[in-house]
Structure 1
Amino acid sequence: MRLGRFYVDKRLVDDRNILPILQMLELVPTRVQSAYEGYMYEFEGTSPHFSEIEEGAKVPLYEVLEYNGELIIKPQEEGE
């Protein structure tokens, strides 16, 4: 398990759909909060699906994280 942080665009998902996303990610959140003036959920926790991403790389965490072809989940970039 690797600790990681990612953001979910709130405009593309409602609160009832967050649980299936967490289950899909097998994410055990240690912290959840609003970010980017309320437009994103910020999750921090452990998941077997956090890939080994080079520092600063702009790549998705895991391909299947596209939810209904709309949800954007991305790694936090260094320096944000």
Structure 2
Amino acid sequence: MSDEDQIRPLLHVVRGEPDDVELAALTAVVAAAAAAGGDAPEPAAPSAWAARDTQVRRPLPHGPGAWRASGLPR
């Protein structure tokens, strides 16, 4: 059998010598966790620094009293 035909093990014991029951329990826990998957995290809302609408200047007022309106808060 060539190296390409061999199947790699999913779990590899690094330390200790677990018996068959312990390996079965570990495999069941890992399989259940992989099957549960979980919901995809929702994308984070962009910060106020990155929001494009805060970077666009509002139209300049015109007409009588425009100079006064330009200095007033929004």
TM-score by length of 2: 0.25
Name which one, 1 or 2, has greater alpha-carbon Rg. Answer: 2
Select the structure that is richer in strand. 1
Higher RCO, 1 vs 2 (CA within 8 Å, ≥6 residues apart): 1
